[in-house]
Amino acid sequence: MTNNTSKKIRVLIADDEFDFASTLQTRLNLRDFEATMVSSGEEAVQAVEQQKPDVLLLDLKMPDLDGLEVLSRLKEMGAETKVIILTGHGSFEVGREGMEMGAFDYIMKPVDLNELIVKIEDAHGSR
Amino acid sequence: MDIQKSPRGVEAVCLEVYGMLSASVTHEIKNTLSIINENAGLIQDLCAMVEGDDGVPAGRVDASMQMIANQVNRSNVIMKNLNRFSHSNDRIPDQADLSETVTLLVALTSRFAAMRKVSVATDCESGHVITTNVLTLYCLVFLILKTLYSLCLEDTTLLVSGKQAAGLLELRFVPEKTNSQTYPPDFPGEKEKMLAEHIGATCSCEDGEVVVILKERG
């Protein structure tokens, strides 16, 4: 269970569902990613600024700042972190809206981990 | 007013409430399914890691199984509440317990409250039953709660109390602190007033508190 790159890809998970984020973090770390997590939009902005992760997995619906607001703040900051949106919406529209705002990609919940890993590696490779 | 028939306007507002509610509930269910999905995957990961070895780490498997059980329980409660809301239009008029109504609607709107970081406290006298159009009553309480969550400041509490007063039933919604700049001067608005009128109730705002006066037979 390893990713193919020699240096670990640093992934930040921003989701207010603690049990979801912590389990996903564990599963990504088992696959040799370096995953960390935060539980709100405001924390996500701060963590991107301080940790400069390679990829941010960003839930759209969170207390305080929602995902689209986080995207907008990251754009203002000129952050180089690639963003993959996690969405619980039934339609693709919000994910597409996020991509128009600069997100690299989106994935719908519940997440297919293999699909997510491909997207993370693609996002990292595009940096 | 004839409570057997709902005017078009009331039907439209109830449909709007149902739309907001189902959007919120389906998000919640997707979240619970996501946690179940991740934990089922983690158990598979753990099994794969120890294949041919001494065995899976029991503590981690147990923690994952507990998370799955918690999310199944959470989903069940969410669906039970939505089911109760959905069946509220089966018989018109029907009976609704005041305290249970508040508990149900607070539960159904908990996601909206969480998004605004608002806590809800309830203090309702038990044993007060209203005979009314229950769906309309539920929609009225839903709209008031949802509006007040958006007005409450983060990390504050909204108190919902219910009691009998002068032969009538009173529901009072008391925000701890609101953002006065965003408090709409016309709240309760047309929708809330229309729903209240439909069940023979009144809905008004007194010094930042929303008060609904209900007849036991509305």
Instruction: Please indicate, yes or no, whether residues B118 and B48 belong to a single structural domain of this protein.
Output: no
Instruction: Please indicate, yes or no, whether residues B161 and B200 belong to a single structural domain of this protein.
Output: yes
Q: Respond yes or no on whether the N-terminal peptide bond of residue B185 is cis (omega within 30° of 0).
A: no
Q: Is residue B2 part of a domain?
A: no
Report CA torsion sign: A57, A61, A64, A67. Answer: positive
DSSP-derived 3-state class of residue B65:
helix
Q: Does A17 contact B116 at a Cβ distance shorter than 8 Å?
A: no
Q: Does B45 contact A27 at a Cβ distance shorter than 8 Å?
A: yes
- Identify the closest residue of chain A to B39 by CA–CA distance: A23
Q: Is residue B48 part of a domain?
A: yes
Q: Does B22 touch chain A (CB under 8 A)?
A: no
DSSP 8-state secondary structure symbol assigned to residue A127? -
Domain range annotation of chain A: 10-125
For residue B206, name the pLDDT band (cuts at 50, 70, 90). confident
Tally of structural domains, chain B: 2
What is the domain extent for residue B13?
A: 8-87
Statement: residue A34 has pLDDT above 80 = yes
Instruction: Please indicate, yes or no, whether residues B70 and B151 belong to a single structural domain of this protein.
Output: no
- Site from B20, B25, B38, B116 to mutate, A interface, most A CB atoms within 10 angstroms: B38
Statement: residue B95 has pLDDT above 80 = yes
Q: Is residue B78 part of a domain?
A: yes
Give the pLDDT score at B50.
78
Contact assessment for residue B189 and residue B148, using Cβ atoms and an 8 Å cutoff: no
Locus of tokens 């709209």 = B143
For residue B2, name the pLDDT band (cuts at 50, 70, 90). very low
Instruction: Please indicate, yes or no, whether residues B118 and B192 belong to a single structural domain of this protein.
Output: yes
Contact residues, B window 60-119, toward A, CB-based 8 Å cutoff: 64, 67, 70-71, 114-117
- Ramachandran category for residue B134: left, alpha or beta (phi over 0 → left; psi -120 to 50 → alpha): alpha
Picking from B87, B118, B139, the residue at the C-terminal end of a domain is B87
Cβ-in-10-Å burial (0-12, 13-18, 19+) of B15 comes to: exposed
Give the number of beta-carbon pairs within 8 Å between A and B: 64
Q: Is residue B120 part of a domain?
A: yes
Sequence letter at residue B165: A
Statement: residue B217 has pLDDT above 80 = no
Complex ipTM value:
0.84
Picking from B87, B112, B143, the residue at the C-terminal end of a domain is B87
User: Per-residue pLDDT tens for B151-202?
Assistant: 899 999 999 999 998 889 999 999 998 776 566 667 899 999 999 999 999 9
- Identify the closest residue of chain B to A18 by CA–CA distance: B35
Q: CA-CA distance, B19 to B22, in Å (whole number)?
A: 5
Instruction: Please indicate, yes or no, whether residues B82 and B148 belong to a single structural domain of this protein.
Output: no
If one compares B108 and B180, the residue with the highest pLDDT of the two is B108
Instruction: Please indicate, yes or no, whether residues B192 and B151 belong to a single structural domain of this protein.
Output: yes
Instruction: Please indicate, yes or no, whether residues B111 and B197 belong to a single structural domain of this protein.
Output: yes
User: Per-residue pLDDT tens for B32-62?
Assistant: 999 999 999 999 998 888 766 677 788 989 9
Contact assessment for residue A54 and residue A82, using Cβ atoms and an 8 Å cutoff: yes
Task: Give, in words, the CATH class of A10-125.
Answer: alpha beta
Give the pLDDT score at A107.
95
- Site from B24, B34, B118 to mutate, A interface, most A CB atoms within 10 angstroms: B34
Contacts of B71 in chain A (CB under 8 A): 19
Give the pLDDT score at B218.
65
Which of A35-49, B5-19, B79-93, B181-195 ranks highest by mean pLDDT? A35-49
Statement: residue B7 has pLDDT above 70 = yes
Instruction: Please indicate, yes or no, whether residues B68 and B110 belong to a single structural domain of this protein.
Output: no
Give the pLDDT score at B196.
97
Statement: residue A112 has pLDDT above 50 = yes
Contacts of A17 in chain B (CB under 8 A): 31, 34-35
Residue of B33, B41, B64 lying closest to A113 (CB–CB): B41
* pLDDT averaged over every residue in chain B: 90
Give the pLDDT score at A4.
53
If one compares A95 and B82, the residue with the highest pLDDT of the two is B82
Which CATH number is B134's domain given?
3.30.565.10
Q: CA-CA distance, B163 to B215, in Å (whole number)?
A: 12
Picking from B71, B87, B103, the residue at the C-terminal end of a domain is B87
Instruction: Please indicate, yes or no, whether residues B139 and B178 belong to a single structural domain of this protein.
Output: yes
DSSP 8-state secondary structure symbol assigned to residue B117? T
Q: Is residue B113 part of a domain?
A: yes
Contacts of B35 in chain A (CB under 8 A): 17, 19-20, 23
If one compares B182 and A63, the residue with the highest pLDDT of the two is A63
For residue A64, name the pLDDT band (cuts at 50, 70, 90). confident
Instruction: Please indicate, yes or no, whether residues B35 and B74 belong to a single structural domain of this protein.
Output: yes
Instruction: Please indicate, yes or no, whether residues B55 and B147 belong to a single structural domain of this protein.
Output: no
Statement: residue A82 has pLDDT above 90 = yes
For residue B3, name the pLDDT band (cuts at 50, 70, 90). very low
How far does CA A78 lie from the centroid of its chain?
17
Min distance A30 CA to chain B CA atoms (Å): 8
Instruction: Please indicate, yes or no, whether residues B51 and B66 belong to a single structural domain of this protein.
Output: yes
Give the pLDDT score at B208.
82
Give the pLDDT score at B67.
94
Give the pLDDT score at B38.
96
Statement: residue B1 has pLDDT above 50 = no
